[in-house]
Amino acid sequence: MNYVLTVHAKLEAQRRQIPMSWIDAVMAQPEQVTAGANRRKVLQSRIVADGKTYLLRLVIEDWHQPPVIVTLYRTSKIDKYWSTI
């Protein structure tokens, strides 16, 4: 999938050691898509790394072509963000 990372998102991916392959996978097939602030969307999927399951969250602006990833992070607090509805 074609997308653009902001400078901030690139720096966060490096700082948080999030591989581009994870970002590609979530952009191509997110497990969930939720509403974010300011018309943004949050694409998220569970990722297994170092024997643990994390949630990778990508905050995107999909009204741009190609979509823009504004920021991203992984968290172990899956229950906090995972929608069961």
Domain boundaries, the chain: 4-81
pLDDT at position 83: 84
DSSP H helical segments within the chain, as ranges? 7-15, 20-28, 78-81
Percent of the chain, pLDDT > 70? 99
Name the burial class of residue 6, with classes exposed (0-12), middle (13-18) and buried (19+) by CB atoms within 10 angstroms of its CB: middle
Is the pLDDT score of 56 beyond 80? yes
**Three-class DSSP category at 3:** coil
Which percentage of the chain shows pLDDT scores above 90? Answer: 94
Is the pTM for the entire model greater than 0.75?
A: yes
Does the pLDDT value for residue 1 go beyond 80? no
Q: Please give the average per-residue pLDDT across 51-73, as a whole number.
A: 97
